[in-house]
Amino acid sequence: MTLSLFDAEENKRTWQEPLCDGALVLRGFVLDDETKILAALEDVLAQSPLRNMVTPGGFRMSVAMSNCGTYGWVTDRGGYRYDRMDPESGNAWPAMPDFFAKLAQEAAAQAGFKNFEPDACLINRYEVGARMSLHQDKNECDFTQPIVSVSLGIPAMFLFGGMRREDKAMRVPLAHGDVVVWGGAARLRYHGVLAVKTASHPLLGQHRINLTFRKVN
Ligand code: MD3
Ligand code: FE
């Protein structure tokens, strides 16, 4: 008989943490794909570079953004919207890599959302100090479709609020490789990200990247 120092269960680098009805954290879900994801992102961002967009209120966002897929999320003085065109390049957004859509679909399926076919991937890049204030994601057509988020690089503290901006928010730490599926009763809850603290990641330096996969239309 062999003696093992580590229990297989305690040794695994991926596990699930349900947050509430509709929200499931898949810790380490994309760890095996990190280099492939970052190479594909480099290619996307060469075509549609990250930029700090302006909110309808006239503030420049601390998070730098770009998109891939049929639709991209944009904001300017005119408001928030999804657009087929990158307003900076005047071209369509870069195509969403097939394996991005596949990863998002697999994650969604783990949470019970079958056949999720994202048509938009918003790319958010946080430098140290960047934050995202509490908001709802409600520019998509069908709220029965989940949103899948992928965290890469330095960690962040995610704020998961309620159905009203004033509701007390739960704090959820998100680290490199973590994926979260937000659907069902969680889909329209307020959420945000606290100012990112100084840290360094071997692949991304002092940055955090978050990808959100959405079904817009
Ligand atoms: C909960 N991004 O791009 S991802 C966003 O880390 C956004 O960059 C954050 O919120 C980030 O809109 C958070 C997690 C997330 C995304 C969408 C949600 C959580 C959500 C929609 C409903 C509830
Ligand atoms: Fe959001």
Q: Ligand 1: which residue has its CA nearest to atom 7?
A: 192
Q: How far is the CA of 203 from the centre of ligand 1 (A)?
A: 22
Place of tokens 């988020």: 149
Give the whole-angstrom CA distance, residue 70 versus residue 55: 22
Task: For residue 104, name the pLDDT band (cuts at 50, 70, 90).
Answer: very high
Q: Hey, what domains does the chain have and what are their CATH numbers?
A: 5-214 (2.60.120.590)
Return the pLDDT at 2: 60
Ligand 1 lined by 214 (C-beta under 6 Å)? no
Quick one: pLDDT band at residue 146, thresholds 50, 70, 90? very high
- pLDDT over 90 percentage in the chain: 94
Nearest C-alpha to atom 10 of ligand 1 is from which residue? 192
E strand or H helix at 24, and its extent?
strand 23-27
Q: Which two tokens stand for residue 177?
A: 């490789």
The minimum-distance atom of ligand 1 relative to the CA of 135 is 10
Q: Which residue has the tokens 């966002």?
A: 61
How confident is residue 5, by pLDDT bands cut at 50, 70 and 90? low
**Measured over all CA atoms, what is the biggest interatomic distance in the chain, rounded to whole angstroms?**
70
- What is the average pLDDT score of the chain? 96
Task: Work out the burial of residue 101: count CB atoms within 10 Å of its CB; fewer than 13 is exposed, 13-18 middle, 19 or more buried.
Answer: middle
Ligand closest to CA 135: 2
Return the pLDDT at 10. 74
Q: Which atom of ligand 1 is nearest to the CA of 192?
A: 10
Ligand 1 centroid vs 5 CA: distance in angstroms?
A: 39
140 CA to centre of ligand 2 in angstroms: 11
Whether ligand 1 lies within 6 angstroms of the CB of 105 is answered as: no
Q: Measured in angstroms, how far is the CA atom of residue 206 from the centroid of ligand 2?
A: 22
Tens digits of residue pLDDT in 14-59: 999 999 999 999 999 999 999 999 999 999 999 999 999 999 999 9
